[in-house]
Amino acid sequence: MKKHRIELVERIGDAVDRLITVDVTGRGLIEKLYSAGRNLVGRSLTLTAAEKLREALEPGDCVLFTTGFLLTPRAKLTENDGPLGCAALARALQVGLRAKPIFVLEEELLQMMANTARGAMLNIIPVEHLKGEYWMGKPELEIFASVVPFPIDDEKAKEQARKLMIEYSPKAVIAIERIGPNRKGVYHSGAGFSYTWIAKAGHLFDEAKRRGILTIGIGDFGNEIGFGNIRDKAIKIRPSYSECTCGCGGGVINDTTVDAPVYSVISNWGAYGISACLAALSNNMDVLHNAKIELKMLRVCVDSGAFDGALLRPSLSVDGIPGEMNASLVEMLRQIVINSLKEFIY
């Protein structure tokens, strides 16, 4: 029975990975990037990340999430790919493992992230109260998360990373659609432009790795944290990764390595895939959100200033994919887990 259960969960992970890497955006890139990651890890990327989270976390442990992509130095705008994934996976870790999520991003984006998390049915409380006792002594009633700012200045970011690790002792650090530094330490958009005005989240991962803390990076293009694991292979897949417009010589490809990389056609989908695997591992479908919550999160996120990164409009879509299709993806993930677990039960 134990062997059958292991085989079943592996099959779920494979099905989840296949679903979240269908090239609905038409870039012609994700299958190659995923294949490189799969060859490196040797099995399902989402299942590997889910298992590592279950191994690392105990009830009450903090998890740091970072996301966000400030469009310009002045605009308080970010794309909605990333915040939705953070909110959904934070909810999954809270419901399934009783973790305490902390969202770490630019100060201009804190309210957007807080609102999106509330759309995922997470209460937002001051971070100083997050590590207190469970509400009324009942952990099942505690659906809490917090938001904290992270600096744009490089040296301040290094110091803030150290402070966060000391103060909250996180057991995992997760990036979803978060631009990371290239090998020269420069942060770029996918088009090769240097983005000096964004929070230097790469230092969170440098500090986490020094302390042996689990790191997970979810991305869909190549400039996001987590692509350092397949940096050289990614450049062979897309030679333009080695180029940029700022002249730094490091290209756009991210150089940050993580313990568990996840590559999906839309970064949010990678987070949903991990949540699905967590639901399977725990035999608890409440861990994975549903279509209703997905559409609510999307509406709140857009109403709070986020936009579709492909359309550059406050559209109820993500990377050009309509909200209804994103909601359907969540329901398909749910059915993969539900139908597979029926086989195990019967």
107 φ/ψ angles, rounded to the nearest 5 degrees: -60, -35
Q: Where are the beta strands (DSSP E) in the chain?
A: 62-66, 78-79, 100-105, 123-124, 144-149, 172-176, 214-219, 260-263, 306-307, 317-318, 321-322
Cβ neighbors of 119 (< 8 A, separation 6 or more) are 87, 293, 296, 297, 298, 299, 300, 301
* Cβ 277 vs Cβ 12: under 8 Å: yes
DSSP string spanning 64-113?
EEE---BSSSS---EESTTHHHHHHHHHHHHHHH--EEEEEE-GGGHHHH
At residue 134, the pLDDT reads 57
At residue 346, the pLDDT reads 43
Nearest to 88, CA basis, from 46, 132, 35: 46
Separation of alpha carbons 289 and 291, rounded Å:
7
At residue 1, the pLDDT reads 45
What's the token pair of residue 325? 């299709």
265 φ/ψ angles, rounded to the nearest 5 degrees: -65, -30
3-state per-residue secondary structure call for 327-344: HHHHHHHHHHHHHHHHHH
Q: How is the chain split among helix, strand and coil, in percent rounded to 5?
A: 50, 15, 35
Pairing of β 123-124 and β 172-176: unpaired
The pTM assigned to this predicted structure is: 0.97
User: CB neighbours (10 Å) of residue 195?
Assistant: 17
At residue 133, the pLDDT reads 57
* Cβ 141 vs Cβ 185: under 8 Å: no
User: CB neighbours (10 Å) of residue 166?
Assistant: 10
Domain boundaries, the chain: 2-345
10-residue mean pLDDT profile of the chain (346 residues): values are 80 98 97 98 98 96 95 86 98 96 96 98 92 62 89 98 97 98 96 95 98 98 98 97 94 98 98 98 96 98 96 96 98 96 63
At residue 136, the pLDDT reads 54
Q: Taking the alpha carbons of 15, 333, 325, 265 in that order, is the dihedral positive or negative?
A: negative
In the DSSP assignment, the letter for residue 318 is E
* Cβ 19 vs Cβ 182: under 8 Å: no
The residues pairing with 176 across neighbouring beta strands, listed in sequence order, are: 218
Nearest to 325, CA basis, from 12, 90, 18, 20: 20
* Cβ 20 vs Cβ 30: under 8 Å: no
What is the CB-side half-sphere exposure of residue 52 using CA atoms within 13 A?
24
- Fold adopted by 2-345: inorganic pyrophosphatase (n-terminal core) (3.90.1640)
Tell which phi-psi region holds residue 232, choosing left (phi > 0), alpha (psi between -120 and 50) or beta: alpha
